[in-house]
Amino acid sequence: MTEHSDLSANDARAQAFIRDGFLRIDNAFSRELADEARAILWRDTGCDPDDPSTWTRPVVRLGMYAQQPFVQAANTPLLHGAFDLLVGPGRWQPCRSMGTFPVRFPSAEDPGDAGWHIDVSFGLENPDFMTWRANIRSKGRALLMLFLFSDVGDDDAPTRIRAGSHADIARVLAPAGEEGLSLGELARNGFAESAGRPEVLATGAAGTVYLCHPFLVHSAQPHRGRHPRFMAQPPLLPAQPFSLESPVRCPVEEAIWRALNG
């Protein structure tokens, strides 16, 4: 069997995603692709990889990347199989660019962006990101994805994930209907409804990808290690809206349905 069919046929992984809100894919893309992409990113940071004295900021934010190493990393057979498993064949759009890179450097300085949140998905035309919105059907986003382009250990500012928190957010969003809630409204209580969830760190070797439910609560953190962390967090865009009424639901939909009906 190919990697594609192995992953698509593994119901246990879909059930784990529905329960935990994320699926870790090891060796989702090659270390060679990670190395090629990281060389491009290092150039754009303006920092010298061999001279830590040039690493003067805790985080450097880089924009969209559509060069071949990034596009190839996002479109491996293993990842396409995982997208089919979690979202459904024909229900997602291939990634043609890699989203924002918050490159995190070892620093005692507060990065200033380490609050709990979800990645909201529509109303993005407003320059105030706190007005951006999410709704119960996850309009505009099929998955949140974390692509590790460097090795990330416990001290290397791994993203903090509240396992199972996607269910808490589904219950918060449901009464708001199609209009949904803004990030400011969702964050008003500091995401207290998910505070009791177990915390998982998104660690792994370069080439690891975490595929996350759009409602998963997560957070950045300061970098206490020695080597800069390179990670992208692009969305997987839907090819059609999610539905909670269909008797046949993909794992993203099923997780929402169970949160509301379990």
pLDDT profile of the chain (262 residues), mean per 10: 39 94 98 97 95 94 94 97 96 92 88 84 89 96 97 96 98 96 95 97 98 97 93 95 91 96 86
- pLDDT tens per residue across span 74-127: 999 999 999 999 999 999 999 999 888 999 999 887 776 768 999 999 998 988
| 218-219 and 133-134 strand pairing | unpaired
The DSSP letter of residue 4 is: H
* Structure tokens that stand for 183 in this block: 């990030």
Strands (E), 149-258: 160-162, 181-182, 199-201, 209-212, 218-219, 231-232, 235-236
Residue 53's alpha-carbon distances to 6, 43, 48, 155, 222, in angstroms, are: 46, 16, 8, 20, 18
